[in-house]
Amino acid sequence: MTRRLPTIHHVTEHEAGPYRLERLDLEFSNGERRQYERLHGRGHGAVVVVPMIDDDTVLLVREYAAGVHRYELGLVKGRIDAGESPIEAADRELKEEAGYGARSLTVLRSLTLAPTYMSHQAHLVLARDLYPERLPGDEPEELEVVPWKLDDLHQLILREDFSEGRSIAALFIAREWLRNGEPRSEPQA
């Protein structure tokens, strides 16, 4: 079923630290009116990088995660700087966090965090044909690089120190893309 998007009658903006909070006065097609809130980040989006050191092995990084106050395994990720494309940001973040560059970078799709109230999107980038190259980054300490076989994802997703949703989703998406090739677009009804 295709529904008409709600009509936005009014938007009020408020500063909220690293975000801009918007209050939307909405009217739905059935006449119901509601106020919704959404957060906009102050940046140009983010990248989540799946670096493949070979056809079967992804490189993870272990870094301090302040939100849960522990060291967490995950994928290379970071903000897209002004003027950067997702491909350029992915290559830079890969060099800063894992010490590798990539000769082949492919944007697979975008991921959202909480689309019901956040506009944030992260571009999922598959990185292949890696070569050693390190750039200085903004991390306070060098990150540990941990190789992991894609065939062992079932073990990885059960680890307490691997909990970030974007990393979990990105690995499954990349694994399916690598196994089945680039999906063909289906016409939308």
Residue among 183, 112, 111, 174 nearest 148 (CA)? 174
* Residue that has been written with the tokens 């980054």 in this structure: 137
Contacts (Cβ under 8 Å, ≥6 apart) of 33: 9, 25, 26, 27
The answer on 74 and 164 residing in a single domain is yes
Q: Residue 37: which pLDDT band, with cuts at 50, 70 and 90?
A: confident
The answer on 163 and 87 residing in a single domain is yes
The answer on 112 and 144 residing in a single domain is yes
Residue at 29 is within a domain: yes
Q: Residue 186: which pLDDT band, with cuts at 50, 70 and 90?
A: low
The answer on 116 and 58 residing in a single domain is yes
Q: Could you give the number of structural domains in the chain?
A: 2
Per the structure, the complete domain to which residue 13 belongs is given by 7-41
- The confidence score (pLDDT) of residue 165 equals 93
- The confidence score (pLDDT) of residue 14 equals 86
Residue 171 maps to which CATH number? 3.90.79.10
The answer on 99 and 149 residing in a single domain is yes
Q: Residue 21: which pLDDT band, with cuts at 50, 70 and 90?
A: confident
pLDDT tens digits, one per residue of 120-151: 889 999 999 999 999 998 888 889 999 999 99
Residue at 185 is within a domain: no
The answer on 53 and 20 residing in a single domain is no
The answer on 24 and 67 residing in a single domain is no
Side chain identity, residue 105: L
The answer on 128 and 50 residing in a single domain is yes
CA distance 140 to 161: 20
The answer on 147 and 70 residing in a single domain is yes
Residue 5 has pLDDT above 60, yes or no: yes
Buried b / exposed e along 37-63 (16+ C-beta atoms within 10 A):
ebbebeeebbbbbbbbbeeeebbbbeb
Strand order, beta sheet including 33-41: 7-16, 19-27, 33-41
pLDDT tens digits, one per residue of 81-125: 999 999 999 999 999 999 999 999 999 999 988 888 877 889 999
- The confidence score (pLDDT) of residue 16 equals 78
Residue at 1 is within a domain: no
3-state DSSP of 152-167: HHHHHCCCCCCCCHHH
The answer on 56 and 23 residing in a single domain is no
